[in-house]
Amino acid sequence: MENIRYDLITALPEIIVLGMAMFILLADLFLKPSNRIALYALAQLTLLIAAYFTFTTHSPGVGYAFTGAFVDDAMSDVLKLMIYAGTALIFIYSRHYLQVRNMFRGEFYALVLFSMLGMMIMVSGQSMLTLYIGLELLSLSLYALVALDRENARATEAAMKYFVLGALASGMLLYGMSMIYGMTGSLNISDIHHALMNAPQPTRELYSVLILGLVFIVAGLAFKLGAVPFQMWVPDVYEGSPTAITMLISSVPKLAAFAFVIRLLAQSLQTLAIDWQSMLLIMAVLSIVIGNVTAIAQTNLKRMLAYSTISHVGFVLLGLMSASMNGYISAMFYIASYVLMSLAGFGVILLLSRKGFEAEKLDDLKGLNQRSPWIAFLMLIVMFSMAGVPPTLGFYAKFTVLQAALQAGFVWVVVFAVLMAVIGAYYYLRVIKLMYFDEPEDKQPIEAPIDMRVALSANALGLLLLGLMPQSLMTFCGYAIIRSLS
């Protein structure tokens, strides 16, 4: 009985999110369409309560629950708090956009909360089964969210592509997991680690099966992260989805994917680090090249940001590839900064959109400075941060990742990544040129609620502020990784 109580308290934030998601689904039935704003308030309240319990039940130690299938450690708590914050921003940014597009429904909030539950499970999963179910929960909610705007044929097509390729990736991941399970006899992350550590000099046969499993797992992970050569779905899905959903797909799930990679590769398969290091290295380099070079040719802002995501994922992989504490910390720092940048970037797109008009072309940003100098300034910070111009957060993120890779001895890779980052700066700076030096084509006034303007300003200025004082975020990431992995 005591055991069950401990399990329930450990998973309290998850239970609250699940309960509130179902409550929102039911409450939607009894609300008049004009009162639906209450659902928005409930969703935000859920995040607050979950954050409160995650924060108060936090302990620096590592606690296992549900017979070792669930873990509560520093990394899971820090990542969960980041996920709540990101989701809260998504709710704020997307409210107006959804209201004018007839998508402001209970299902949106319920599905976003369900997807967030999936992320929380991924972050806290300590068995391959739990991790996989968390991933499926996240993916399934996202497929539905992409297609939520039913009248939109492009969104339906994007959802279809996302669904088919996501299912393929899940299949690969499962196949790889089954190989690892077959060789170690356990699904539990720490048990697999111990089984591999204590294996008496792995025979060639055992080794070859493990590598086969590893290849499939890495391929599945790369699909979900959107790393080259598994990136084909990213631009299409980003472009086709309603912008509010694109913002969701491109931001917080990446935090969960990061935890997923850490749990699978760094915690359970650490003994095979030599092998996955080379796989990640190839994918990182290819992602940085293809992401940055292809982004130059884009005229669609959302598509450009999709390719920019691919290159950012490449940098995260570069950090993970170092397979050292510093590498993991830098990768976590990078992914957290990326989420902030991505939220602010898509936030600006949402701000410029209005009923019946999507500000998704690069030309829609022309002369933004004349229409609204403040928003242009915010976008300037975001673009500088994505390009990695000091003193923004993006610069420091790239810097730490490259430093970790340098320490691991990958000098040429670092030189190459810096060159590619310089090439990538071109398309970010082009956006700034369009905003400041071109005449506006679209002279409609910008309509956006005040809370969104305030949140967006805080988000973008945060990029600048954290760039000047990166120690605060760095301390969090260091605390999370060192407490959980050593």
Partner 1 sequence: MTFFGLHFQDLVFYTLAIILLMAGLRVITTRNPVYAALYLVLAFFTAAGIWLLLEAEFLAITLVLVYVGAVMVLFLFVVMMLDINLDRLREGFWKALPIALPVGGLMAVEMVMIVGVRNFGVDKVAAPAKHPAGYSNTAELGRVLYTDYLLAFELASVVLLVAIVAAIALTLRERRESKSMDPAKQVLVKKADRLRIVKMKAEVEKIVVSDTDAAADVKESK
Residues that bind partner 1 (CB under 8 A): 11, 18, 22, 25, 65-67, 69-70, 105, 107, 110-111, 114, 117, 121, 127, 129-130, 133-134, 136-137, 140-141, 143-144, 147-148, 150, 182, 205-206, 208-209, 212
Tracing tokens 């797992």 back to the chain, one arrives at 217
Q: How far apart are CA 221 and CA 239, in angstroms?
A: 22
Q: Which residues pair with 65 in a beta bridge?
A: 70
Q: How far apart are CA 276 and CA 218, in angstroms?
A: 8
Which CB sits closer to partner 1, 88 or 133?
133
Shortest distance (Å) from residue 204 CB to partner 1: 9
Torsion from C-alpha of 245, 248, 251, 252, nearest 10 degrees = -160
Shortest distance (Å) from residue 263 CB to partner 1: 15
Shortest distance (Å) from residue 25 CB to partner 1: 7
Q: How far apart are CA 408 and CA 387, in angstroms?
A: 24
Which CB sits closer to partner 1, 206 or 362?
206
Which CB sits closer to partner 1, 146 or 387?
146
Shortest distance (Å) from residue 35 CB to partner 1: 18
Shortest distance (Å) from residue 450 CB to partner 1: 30
Neighbouring CB atoms inside 10 A of 1's CB total 5
Which CB sits closer to partner 1, 90 or 142?
142
Shortest distance (Å) from residue 131 CB to partner 1: 10
Shortest distance (Å) from residue 304 CB to partner 1: 29
3-state secondary structure the chain: CHHHHHHHHHCHHHHHHHHHHHHHHHHHHHCCHHHCHHHHHHHHHHHHHHHHHHHHCCCCCCEEECCCCEEECHHHHHHHHHHHHHHHHHHHHHHHHHHCCCCCCHHHHHHHHHHHHHHHHHHHECEHHHHHHHHHHHHHHHHHHHCCCCCCHHHHHHHHHHHHHHHHHHHHHHHHHHHHHHHHCCCEHHHHHHHHHHCCCCCHHHHHHHHHHHHHHHHHHHHHHCCCCCCCHHHHHHHHCCHHHHHHHHCCHHHHHHHHHHHHHHHHCHHHHHHHHHHHHHHHHHHHHHHHHHHHCCCEHHHHHHHHHHHHHHHHHHHHHCCCHHHHHHHHHHHHHHHHHHHHHHHHHHHHCECCECCCEHHHHCCHHHHCHHHHHHHHHHHHHHHCCCCCHHHHHHHHHHHHHHHCCCHHHHHHHHHHHHHHHHHHHHHHHHHHHCCCCCCCCCCCCHHHHHHHHHHHHHHHHHHHCCHHHHHHHHHHHHHHHC
Shortest distance (Å) from residue 358 CB to partner 1: 21
Shortest distance (Å) from residue 334 CB to partner 1: 29
Which CB sits closer to partner 1, 147 or 301?
147
Which CB sits closer to partner 1, 70 or 91?
70
Which CB sits closer to partner 1, 110 or 259?
110
Shortest distance (Å) from residue 331 CB to partner 1: 27
Which CB sits closer to partner 1, 70 or 315?
70
Which CB sits closer to partner 1, 15 or 423?
15
Which CB sits closer to partner 1, 121 or 350?
121
Which CB sits closer to partner 1, 156 or 407?
156
Shortest distance (Å) from residue 107 CB to partner 1: 4
Q: How far apart are CA 277 and CA 265, in angstroms?
A: 10
Tracing tokens 């959109």 back to the chain, one arrives at 353
Which CB sits closer to partner 1, 129 or 429?
129
Q: Which residues pair with 63 in a beta bridge?
A: 72
Shortest distance (Å) from residue 229 CB to partner 1: 13
